[in-house]
Amino acid sequence: MKKIVFLLAAVAALAACRDTATSGVEVTLQNPIISGFSPDPSVVAVGGDYYIVNSTFHYFPGVPVYHSRDLQNWEQIGNVLDRPSQLPLVESNASLGIYAPTIRYNDGTFYMITTNVGNRGNFMVTATDPAGPWSEPIWLEQQGIDPSLYFEDGKCYMVSNPDATITLCEIDPVTGATLSPGKALWRGTGGRFPEGPHIYKHDGWYYLLISEGGTELAHKLTVARSRHIYGPYEANPDNPIFTHCSLAAQESNIQGTGHGDLFQAADGSWWIVFLAYRRYGGDFHHLGRETFLAPVSWEKGWPMVNGGQPVAEKMTVRMSEVPKTPQPASVHYDFSVIGPEWMHIQHPVTENYSAKGGVLTLTGNSDGFDWGGWHPTALLRRQKAAECRFGTDVTLLENGEAGLTIYQTHNGHMEFFVRREGKRCQAVLRIRLHSILHEQSVGPIPSPSARLDVLAFGDHYEFLVNGQPFGTTDSKLLSTEMAGGFTGVTIGPYCRSGKASFKGFDYEETVCQN
Ligand code: 6LW
């Protein structure tokens, strides 16, 4: 008998050990795990496969899906919303459109639920393969943003935050029909914007994890628990369970930590993905909110993030295996395949794009990047490193304007382009910040063909035409603090008017020498 008691105690101790992630090997985790514009992460673990989705606002396609097997290296395998019929974006901008998504898996089916702010509200889509295809939208009744799903005993529950109150209802996962009246669960601990709710079950408790404080400096994660899914929920006396709005983290370059999703890895350890941004030069950031990872332990019945400590870009954590060290990206696009990382502002006018033999040809429709330019002819990818370089060889085939854009929102963007007017060709740099419009040019340049390069040095950009320095701009002009929105900088070739060809596009993340 004694032996059995001892064995049971040993098994329990082992389980607790796994829970606190003290097993495995010590590794250096590099954060963010998904850099650049990757806000509002949600994660699902299916065996040893992990999938993350992010919000995308007015971009098309919407909601990227990333896959990993080691939690450190994430590859984009598709986009959930890759057909206009799934993603109405009428008059959407960088503060509207697709807000925080949640990804879940139940009984062979993946679910992604989110809010299309400004175009019909909450909906979900389903797939058997997270790389796609995903279904047409199933529109949902319950209001509020940041919907999430929780499955148990053949039932499907939805939570969101109508009237700033986390509210739960049961829905039919096939039709989306509401099956029970909305039940108010929790309003958080008094922080503004209680949002981003998720429900989990652990050791017989239902845990309700939310964000409060807004997605800026005061962002935080708080948690409540109940023995019953409909409540009553009691708040953790140690809330918030995670924030960088603290004395301990006030010097950190990582700020705005919040909007998290817990998950259990295949080895039994617990983790959280969450968003944060990396600031510089005071309180500015322009790469957007990014996706971070931290370990979670269960302490006295409550989840604790990273042992209660702030997170860092390099952290020592325990994992069951040593992941590959992520390398800076260096890629030459020849446009033979337009990969899932390329996006458009709203839906593209497809006849304005063609790619053949390493050359991308774009036709302008006079839409630029200001408010009201709904469908600019532009192929955009995320700037994922503060220090990087990108460039292209552009040829204006007709009179018009074409080149590279660095786009944050309709209110904050830069274009570095060639303008062709008959025989006269100029290289031009344009900066838009709200009502301020600045243009500077050199010229004439000898031909309608030019090499355009942009060097990003974190706090500033340098522009080169045909290898010659052209000018410098301050990255703050594109920061979220100045340009607004919920997004992050995207970059790529565009054509506003006329027709232009682009011979490839290079993107290299290197520490540039100033
Ligand atoms: C998102 C909300 C949030 O839906 O910001 O940081 C909103 N969290 O949860 C827009 O991303």
For 3-14, what is each residue's pLDDT tens digit? 444 444 444 444
> Cα 52 to chain center, whole Å?
9
State the Cα–Cα distance between residues 490 and 431, nearest whole angstrom: 15
| 195 catalytic per annotation | yes
At residue 288, does pLDDT exceed 70?
Answer: yes
Structural domains in the chain, CATH included, are: 22-319 (2.115.10.20), 330-509 (2.60.120.200)
At residue 211, does pLDDT exceed 60?
Answer: yes
Choosing from 40, 146, 290, 367, which is the catalytic residue? Answer: 40
pLDDT score, position 23: 76
pLDDT score, position 60: 98
At residue 505, does pLDDT exceed 60?
Answer: yes
Mean pLDDT of 183-211: 98
% of the chain residues with pLDDT over 70: 95
Tens of pLDDT, residue by residue over 318-366, are 999 999 999 999 999 999 999 999 999 999 999 999 999 999 999 999 9
pLDDT score, position 511: 56
Identify whether the C-beta of residue 496 lies closer than 8 Å to the C-beta of residue 377. yes
Pairing assessment for the beta strands 220-226 and 234-235 based on DSSP bridges: antiparallel
What's the CA-to-centroid distance between 377 and ligand 1, angstroms? Answer: 28
What's the CA-to-centroid distance between 426 and ligand 1, angstroms? Answer: 41
* Ligand 1 atom with least separation from CA of 258: 6
Choosing from 19, 146, 170, 195, which is the catalytic residue? Answer: 195
State the Cα–Cα distance between residues 361 and 270, nearest whole angstrom: 48
Please provide residue 338's backbone torsions phi and psi, each rounded to the nearest 5 degrees.
-95, 105
Q: How confident is the model at residue 458 (pLDDT cuts 50, 70, 90)?
A: very high
Mean pLDDT of 216-223: 97
Quick one: 486 exposed, middle or buried, by C-beta within 10 A (0-12, 13-18, 19+)? buried
Query: Measuring from atom 6 of ligand 1, which residue has the nearest CA?
Result: 215
Mean pLDDT of 11-34: 71
State the Cα–Cα distance between residues 33 and 315, nearest whole angstrom: 12
The SS3 of residue 5 is helix
Tens of pLDDT, residue by residue over 110-128, are 999 999 999 999 999 999 9
pLDDT score, position 8: 44
Mean pLDDT of 54-74: 98
At residue 21, does pLDDT exceed 60?
Answer: no
Tens of pLDDT, residue by residue over 222-262, are 999 999 999 999 999 999 999 999 999 999 999 999 999 99
With the most atoms of ligand 1 within 8 angstroms of its CB, the residue from 37, 53, 55, 96 to mutate is 55
Give this prediction's pTM. Answer: 0.95
Identify whether the C-beta of residue 305 lies closer than 8 Å to the C-beta of residue 296. yes
pLDDT score, position 464: 97
What's the CA-to-centroid distance between 40 and ligand 1, angstroms? Answer: 6
pLDDT score, position 280: 87
At residue 432, does pLDDT exceed 90?
Answer: yes
The ligand 1 site (C-beta within 6 Å) comprises 39-40, 55, 99-100, 145-146, 195-196, 211, 215, 258-259, 275, 486
What's the CA-to-centroid distance between 142 and ligand 1, angstroms? Answer: 18
Compare 56 and 514 and report the one with higher pLDDT: 56
At residue 512, does pLDDT exceed 60?
Answer: no
Mean pLDDT of 285-295: 98
In 233-328, DSSP assigns E strands to: 234-235, 242-243, 254-264, 270-278, 290-299, 302-305, 314-319
At residue 186, does pLDDT exceed 90?
Answer: yes
Mean pLDDT of 384-408: 98
At 427, the amino acid letter reads A
What's the CA-to-centroid distance between 216 and ligand 1, angstroms? Answer: 10
Identify whether the C-beta of residue 19 lies closer than 8 Å to the C-beta of residue 307. no
